[in-house]
Amino acid sequence: DIQMTQSPSSLSASVGDRVTITCRASQSISSYLNWYQQKPGKAPKVLIYAASNLQSGVPSRFSGSGSGTDFTLTISSLQPEDFATYYCQQSYSTPDTFGQGTKLEIK
């Protein structure tokens, strides 16, 4: 299985901050990397797909980059509704695997 390692596992930040979350794959996954946002009690939802493509309806303050083994999710200016847990997921080879998650909390 391809292992996905996210960092940090938790992060405290303020409204208006710029935040970056990283995800590293244990082997190359090309651009088959997706980012999800999950709020408490809710299912995850796609934010970014294929490493850098913004899902329809997702605010443009979210962006993704990377290819191969190293990827980043950036939120350019945190808004109150962005405090949630974020997961990366590789869909390059089965089984799909997720990172352990990054919990973004209000400072």
Which residues in this chain contact another protein in the complex, by CB under 8 A?
1, 32, 34, 36, 42-46, 49-50, 87, 89, 91-92, 94-101
Whole-number minimum distance, CB 85 to another protein, in Å?
9
**Coil vs helix vs strand at 21:** strand
Whole-number minimum distance, CB 16 to another protein, in Å?
28
**Which of residues 19 and 47 has its CB atom nearest to another protein in the complex?**
47
Percent helix / strand / coil, the chain, rounded to 5: 5, 50, 50
Whole-number minimum distance, CB 15 to another protein, in Å?
26
For residue 35, what are the β-bridge partners?
A: 48, 88
**Which of residues 14 and 94 has its CB atom nearest to another protein in the complex?**
94
Q: How deeply is 5 buried, as exposed, middle or buried, from its count of CB atoms within 10 A (0-12, 13-18, 19+)?
A: middle
